[in-house]
């Protein structure tokens, strides 16, 4: 399993100048190679091989007056830039053919010196970790030793490192390490949870826990407005405009850092405490085009769900996605009565069938958990029997087993579904 670990870098002034030169060389090689590939395809639909591109855009280019400055930097990041271009083309063709799932990938585009995020990747032949007085320093070929803030130890020797400069002017080292697949498996837990995501509360779990939405960007809106107005008054291309842009970028970076830290902490806690996690599938892109676009983008539901899924797979947990059309907020978790569509202003309701009073979000989380367990159990049964069950999700009882009926009322019609973590087979819950 490949994992990525990021650390803050603190290069001095000469090193920042060398990194700027390196980023420019990487960009130039990418653009030269892309231009050659486009020209070859337009001329006779020919494809230039990777070794041929390397010979043309790096080896031979260094001997020309127009590109002799490529020799001032390590050749490894330049070669990795060509590899990235080849991967980008491969992703495009796989996307067009249907081999690659997910959103359609576009053709590679030219890079600009005005791109505020820049990066260069080094493999093991071009970087080393050297002991120093303040911990190991990162040595990069033709740049030197750069101070690293080691927030945690690397679990294994890194196979590559990507040096990144973000729009706020900060530098980071992103290491890739290989770890055994089972090295991070957690002890089995008896707990399971369903999660209902929202804007008032970031997440509500089936055990009644409500996680407050921190509203990272909203809290910085007043300061951002002031800084963006100052940026708009600066003359384009001036040094003062660059300074003003960096101030705006730093505010966005602070919001992004706080958001990322929150998402990691919450997702890690949920995965550690629960053997099974059920969530509702969301069309985040569609929601981000509506009137709540700013709030939807601020909460980063897509990133949160991806973190949950990745960490569940890494730690030996079960991750279940319930269909987004499943009426989780319209069903009574006790008896299965469907009350119908509710307005967003309705935060609680009483079931006309069993009389139970429900918090809308908690009831939705309970229904998501029940449906997730039903889907997982049905999938396990089909795997055992070699069947391909195409029935609707409503053809089988969506409730939990009798002993897990929180309202102590009638379970939904159908056969009760066992839980994913039987007590007799589970071990102590992970800390």
Q: What is the pLDDT along the chain (431 residues), one digit of tens a residue?
A: 899 999 999 999 999 999 999 999 999 999 999 999 999 999 988 999 999 999 999 999 999 999 999 999 999 999 999 999 999 999 999 999 999 988 889 999 999 999 999 999 999 999 999 886 566 899 999 999 999 999 999 999 999 999 999 999 999 999 999 988 777 889 999 999 999 999 999 999 999 999 999 999 999 999 999 999 999 999 999 999 999 999 999 999 999 999 999 999 999 999 999 999 999 998 888 888 888 889 999 999 999 999 999 999 999 999 999 998 999 999 999 999 999 888 888 889 999 999 899 999 999 999 999 999 999 888 877 766 665 543 333 333 333 333 333 443 333 433 333 334 433 333 333 33
What's the residue count for the chain? 431
* Cα–Cα distance measured from residue 398 to residue 417, given in angstroms and rounded to the nearest whole number: 8
Question: DSSP states of 220-257 as a string?
Answer: GHHHHHHHHHHHHHSPTT-HHHHHHHHHHHHHHHHHHH
Residue 55 DSSP label: I
* Cα–Cα distance measured from residue 164 to residue 7, given in angstroms and rounded to the nearest whole number: 10
Which residue matches tokens 């190679």?
33
Catalytic residue IDs: 196, 280, 361
Q: What are phi and psi of 2, to 5 degrees?
A: -95, 130
Q: By three-state DSSP, how is residue 23 classified? A: helix
Residue 174 contacts residue 122 (beta carbons within 8 Å) = no
Residue 296 contacts residue 287 (beta carbons within 8 Å) = yes
* Cα–Cα distance measured from residue 145 to residue 108, given in angstroms and rounded to the nearest whole number: 33
* Cα–Cα distance measured from residue 173 to residue 150, given in angstroms and rounded to the nearest whole number: 10
What are the residue boundaries of the structural domains of the chain, listed by start? 2-178, 192-425
* Cα–Cα distance measured from residue 387 to residue 399, given in angstroms and rounded to the nearest whole number: 22
Two structure tokens written together for 23: 């980023």
Q: What is the pLDDT of residue 288?
A: 85
Q: What is the pLDDT of residue 131?
A: 83
List all residues 6 or more positions away from 386 whose beta carbon is below 8 Å from its beta carbon: none
List all residues 6 or more positions away from 140 whose beta carbon is below 8 Å from its beta carbon: 74, 122, 126, 127, 146, 163
List all residues 6 or more positions away from 104 whose beta carbon is below 8 Å from its beta carbon: 95, 96
Q: What is the pLDDT of residue 377?
A: 85
Q: What is the pLDDT of residue 384?
A: 65
Residue 171 contacts residue 10 (beta carbons within 8 Å) = yes
């Amino acid at each position: 399993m490949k994992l990525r670990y990021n650390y803050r870098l603190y290069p001095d002034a000469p090193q920042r100048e060398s990194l700027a030169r390196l980023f420019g060389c990487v960009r130039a090689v990418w653009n030269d190679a892309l231009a050659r590939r486009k020209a070859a395809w337009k001329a006779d639909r020919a494809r230039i091989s990777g070794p041929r591109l390397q010979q043309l855009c790096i080896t031979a280019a260094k001997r020309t007056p127009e590109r002799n400055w490529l020799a001032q930097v390590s050749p490894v990041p330049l070669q990795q830039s060509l590899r990235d271009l080849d991967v980008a083309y491969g992703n495009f063709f796989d996307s067009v053919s249907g081999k690659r799932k997910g959103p359609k990938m576009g053709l590679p585009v030219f890079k600009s010196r005005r791109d505020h995020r820049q990066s260069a990747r080094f493999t093991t032949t071009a970087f080393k970790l050297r002991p120093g007085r303040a911990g190991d320093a990162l040595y990069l070929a033709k740049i030197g030793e750069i101070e690293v803030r080691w927030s945690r130890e690397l679990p294994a020797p890194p196979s590559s490192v990507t040096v990144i400069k973000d729009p706020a002017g900060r530098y980071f080292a992103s290491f890739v390490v290989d770890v055994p697949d089972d090295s991070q498996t957690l002890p089995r837990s008896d707990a399971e949870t369903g999660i209902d995501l929202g804007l008032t509360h970031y997440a509500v779990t089936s055990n009644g826990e409500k996680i407050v939405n921190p509203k990272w960007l909203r809290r910085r809106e007043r300061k951002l407005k002031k800084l963006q107005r100052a940026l708009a008054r600066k003359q384009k291309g001036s040094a003062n405009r660059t300074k003003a842009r960096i101030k705006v970028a730093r505010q966005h970076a602070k919001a992004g850092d706080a958001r990322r830290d929150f998402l990691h902490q919450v997702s890690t806690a949920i995965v550690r405490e629960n053997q099974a996690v059920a969530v509702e599938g969301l069309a985040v892109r569609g929601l981000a085009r509506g009137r709540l676009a700013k709030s939807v983008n601020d909460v980063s539901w897509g990133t949160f769900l991806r973190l949950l899924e990745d960490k569940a797979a890494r730690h030996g947990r079960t991750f279940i996605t319930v269909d987004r059309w499943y009426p989780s907020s319209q069903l009574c978790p006790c008896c299965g009565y469907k009350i119908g569509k509710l307005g967003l202003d309705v935060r609680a309701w009483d079931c006309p069938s069993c009389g139970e009073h429900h918090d809308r979000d908690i009831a939705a989380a309970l229904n998501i958990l029940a449906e997730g367990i039903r889907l997982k159990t049905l999938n396990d049964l089909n795997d055992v029997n070699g069947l391909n069950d195409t029935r609707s999700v409503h053809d089988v009882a969506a409730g939990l087993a009798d002993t897990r009926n929180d309202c102590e009322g009638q379970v939904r019609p159908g056969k009760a579904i066992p839980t994913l973590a039987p007590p007799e087979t589970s071990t102590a819950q992970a800390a």
